[in-house]
Structures are given as structure tokens and as C-alpha cells.
Chain A
Amino acid sequence: MAKVLMKGNEAIAEAAIRAGCEAYFGYPITPQTEVLEYMSARMPELGRAFVQAESELAAVNMLYGAACTGARAMTTTSSPGFSLMQEGLSYIACSEVPAVVVNVMRGGPGLGNIQPSQADYLQMTKGGGHGDYSPIVLAPSTVQETVNLVILAFDLADKYRQPVYVIADGMIGQMMEPVELPELKPPQRPERPWALTGAKGRPRNIITSLQLDPPTLEKVNLRLQEIYRRIRENEQRHEEYMTDDADLLVVAYGTAARIVKTAISKARPQGLKVGLFRPITVNPYPYDALRKAADRAQRVLVVELSAGQMLEDVRLAVMDRRPIHFFGKMGGVVPMPEDIVDAMNKVMAEA
């Protein structure tokens, strides 16, 4: 299939459509608004559901409603909007319904700005909402990978009946790259015996996150934890780039990782043996793979567009087996590859 040049946000929308998304609900917020705009044109022409919600609270609950009926459904937002969705996502996780959420992250906290940031990492990977739940979080670093991961997100959501998040940022949402898209097929509804479709010819279904009896709610939680265990076992994904002979292992995801790749191409000719470990699932986090990669290097450098939120997961993986350093930018500031090369040199000079 021929490649087309697409803006990241539009690619998110088209990928969801190709994945058979039957319902989209959203609310404008920069830098993801183009997803909403794109969907407003495409979904009705395909006879699928589109609603511009009155808020992110409403959008996520429309998503919840549509997902309860067994439809493939998605919402997209950016950081402050994602904060508002936490309540609904906790309900969706407990009720065991599939749903896809894309967060095109921006600078925070508060209203912040509309530039790329990765400062929602902890909120997204550690649950964010109340209660013990653990969402799958996929972190693309190119527009093509965003397409692939949005499609994967729908499959994983269906497979585990849990919310799946894709975290992009303003950079990926706004940049244009050539992408290959799968063929457009009509949405297919696999058998979903649990869905609310009217109780014709079957016992009625109830979807609830309420269990007043503690042992019953404990059972629900144990079942959720079993799902998360299966996800940890089967769904960890990561990429390694020039790590075989690396003295310095840089750990970064998403936009930060693609800048690190450019930095590596500049640092290698200078004689710096540096490689990249890029988690693709930032939850479940590829702890074992990272530990092994770190064991082959002398030092570890974490690069993030935040104060060091993923740093905590890197520490959990590496423990104190290797020295861990951090280079981060906040507030929507995006480092140049040279800034990262400087950081690499500084770390190795300390050795």
C-alpha cells in the first residue's frame, strides 16, 4: 500500500477508523484537536458515531457507555483533559470494558502550555484514578508507530477488556510523516456476550463497578490483578538501538527517544559508545529487558521531557547495579540533540 503524508493527529484518527472504531467522543484541546476535527468529518460519512462532548468528563463517560454495548470506541485528549477523565477510567477498568484513550501530552502542571511534554507519565502509567488498576500504556515515537500502536491498542483493549492508552505528545501530534495505513474495512463485532445490547434471547447483563460486599470486591480486585499479571507476562514491548557494545545506555521513550537517536548518530562518530533502550509499553514496563541491557553497559542515562517521572521505573529495573543519571527538560522545552550529546559526554566524563 502506498504511503501518505499525514499529520500525527490525523493519523491517530484514521488509524482508529481503520481499526474499526465505531464511536468517537472528544472535546477540543490543543495539541490534539485535529483528531476531533478529523473524526467529525470521517465518522458520520462512514455511518459511525461522533459526538463533540461538553467536557472530558462527558466524553469519557460516552466512551464508557458505547464500550458497554460492545462497540470499539475511542476518545482523545491532552493533559488537563486527561486529568478530568480519571474518574471515568477507573470505572471502565473496574467494569472490565475495552476502551482506547489517546493523550497527546502538553506542558503542565495546570493550564501549562501547548508544547510537547512527557510530564503525565506517572498519572498515565500508575493508574491516575482511584483504586488498584493498571492500564496498558503504549508510547510511539514516530507517526507510523502511532498508527500501528493505535491499532494495537484496540486489539489489546478487546483482548483484556481494559482501557488502553496511547501516549503521544505535541511533537508527534503536530508533525507530518509518511505513513502506511491498513485497508479500511467495515467494523466487525466479535462475540461479546457481556455487552449491553438488550437481553434478547439471553439472561440480562449488568455492568457495574459497585460491590458493597468486601469479599466480593476483593474477588473483583483479584481478578483484575490476574489480568494485569497476564498483561505483564505477554505484552511487554521495547526497542534497543546500538546497545550491544554501548558503555552508556540511554533510556528514553516517545519524542525524547527520537531525539536521543539523532544524538547517538552524532555521538558515535565522536567515539562515544552509546545506545538507546526505548520502552514501547511504558506500562507494563519492560523491567527485565532493561535490567539486562543495563548490565551490559557501564552507566545509564535517562532522558525525559519531565522532571524525571520514568526515572523511577528505571531505578526499579536497574536498582543500584549501575549509576543512573538524568537529563530532563520541562515546561514544553524540547532539547536539541546537541544538548543530549553534551549530557552523554558529561556522564561518561564522570566515569
Chain B
Amino acid sequence: MAEVKEEKIVFQRPKALCDVVTHYCPGCLHGVVHRVIAEVIDELGIQEITVGIAPVGCSVLAYNYIATDFAEAAHGRAPAMATGMKRVHPELVVFTYQGDGDLAAIGTNELIHAATRGENITTIFINNAIYGMTGGQMAPTTLPGQVTTSTPRGRDTKLAGFPVRVCELVSTLEGAAYIVRRSAYNPSEIRKLKAAIKTAFQVQMAGLGYSLVEVVSNCPTNWGMTPLESLKWLQENMLAYYPLGDYKVKDSVKELMAKK
């Protein structure tokens, strides 16, 4: 009789990811990023000490998918809420999940000052160059020439100004410890994204200061593309304006990473 081999699980739903169908459009990277966050929470074993803060935007229902304690912030105010939580409960791991409209338009003030104070919180920032939830208007991150419902002839920088580069901006702030830009358009990028999110949480847990992981993302629906076209458009257009890489890694963070 053939020997029965013990089953080895090679792939399964992370514990920190709820077993539900999401409301995201097909091909949208929000779902991928949720999964990556959940994997990191599992690997760090922090599901029971983590509090997430959902934004206003397409990911307004993030708490339906990521299985930790969660609060829903007002549009743009997540970093302030996170500050209030973390100051009372330094032992918690507190992260905000924010889109570009949420973080780089209405919530710029809260972002800049939470980073300036060096709050021990982590922000996952989804940059899809558009307002998804409200139906595709110009975001602060919309590229020059990009057509949106409120830049119907393409973003004219004379009228609408220039896109905001969040990592570059925030990395100038002393309280920021770990500021990096990643993407999620292919498996190798997703692996790099996961490593970055893990580091960001570890930076927070070591009390080293503010950490932010930007994800150059997509919005097939409002870009008017198929999922595959959107990933191609992302690589061909967004990466030039938003180069992937590490924008700020404080020495204390480097030491931490060397130890791991």
C-alpha cells in the first residue's frame, strides 16, 4: 500500500482576512492590498492588538474584510483618530488605510502633522490617481493630461496645478521614520509590498516613529479600462511620476531591519 503523505498547506486565506465577498470592482488592487495586510498581521501575530482605521473612499468598508478592531474615520481625519488612540494605548498597533483623495486632499493637514509629531502609527496609502468612490474626479495625484470627470480635457496644470508626490513630501519631515513607495501590479511587486508593510508595522511596534507605505494602484472602473489595461497603464504612466523605492529609512529603522 502506498504511504499516505501528510498534507502540506501551501496557500490559504489569512486568518486576519474575513471570509466574505468584497464590493471592489474586478481587477481593483484594493483587494490585493487588503490580503497583504492580513498576511502581515497573521505573520506578526498581532491580530488581537491591532486597530485599523478605515477612510472615506472605495475602501470605506475595509473593516468588513480585515478582521481586527476597526474604526471608521471622517474623510481625511484617520491620522488624527489614530493619534488619539495610540496616545491612550501605546501597546496597540494602529494603522490607517487611506486613498489619495482622503490623504492628499482633504486630509493633508492631519497626515503632515501626524508624521511631524512622529506618531507611532502606520499609514497604508493607496494612490490610484483618481477619486474612485465619487465616480472618477481629479485627485491631487491625477497625472498631467489625465482625463477625469472633472478634468474632461485632461488635467491642465495651468488650471489644476501639479500632482502631489506624497512620499517625497512626507520624507522631509523629521518625525517620519519609514516612508516607502511600492506597487502591486505583479507578484514580485506584491512580495516587495508585503515586506514593506511588515517593516512598517515592525517600525511602529519598536516605537521608531511614523511609517507610511504608498501603493501605486489602479482604478480600472474610473480609468475606463479592463483590469489588464489598467495594470499596463499604471506601469507606463504612473511609475515615471511616482518612482517606486525607499524615500526615508531612518538609521534606527535600518538597525531594526538588520536585526531581523
Contacts and interface: CB of A to CB of B under 8 A. Distances in A.
Contacts of A65: 53, 71, 80-86
Contact of B84 (A73, A198, A207, A210): A73
Interface in A14-61: 22-23, 25, 49, 51, 53-55, 57-59, 61
Contacts of A206: 63, 69-72
| Chain B interface residue number, banded | 35 or more
Contacts of A235: none
Contacts of B72: 95, 206-210
A71 B88 contact: yes
A298 interface: no
A68 B109 contact: no
A220 to B, nearest CB: 13
Given A62-B83, A71-B88, A73-B84, A204 B71 contact: no
B48 interface: yes
Interface string B26-48: 00000000000000000000011
Contact of A196 (B47, B85, B109): B85
A162 B173 CA distance: 36
B87 A49 contact: yes
Contact of A198 (B49, B54, B67): B49
Secondary structure call for the B interface: mixed
A259 B115 CA distance: 48
A88 interface: yes
A88 B74 contact: yes
A113 interface: no
B110 interface: yes
Interface string B79-111: 011111111110110000000000000000110
A66 interface: yes
B73 interface: yes
A201 B49 CA distance: 11
A63 B118 CA distance: 18
Contact of B71 (A53, A58, A68, A200): A68
A107 B16 CA distance: 51
B113 interface: yes
23 contacts: A22-B88, A25-B84, A49-B88, A54-B112, A54-B113, A57-B80, A57-B109, A58-B77, A58-B110, A61-B81, A65-B71, A65-B83, A66-B84, A68-B84, A69-B84, A196-B70, A197-B51, A198-B48, A199-B69, A200-B48, A206-B69, A208-B71, A210-B61
Interface of B: 47-51, 53-54, 60-61, 63, 67-74, 77, 80-89, 91-92, 109-110, 112-113, 117
Interface of A: 22-23, 25, 49, 51, 53-55, 57-59, 61-69, 71, 73, 87-88, 91, 95, 196-201, 204-210
Given A51-B87, A196-B85, 17 more contacts: A49-B88, A51-B117, A54-B112, A57-B77, A58-B80, A61-B81, A65-B81, A65-B82, A69-B92, A196-B70, A199-B68, A199-B69, A200-B48, A206-B63, A206-B72, A208-B63, A210-B61
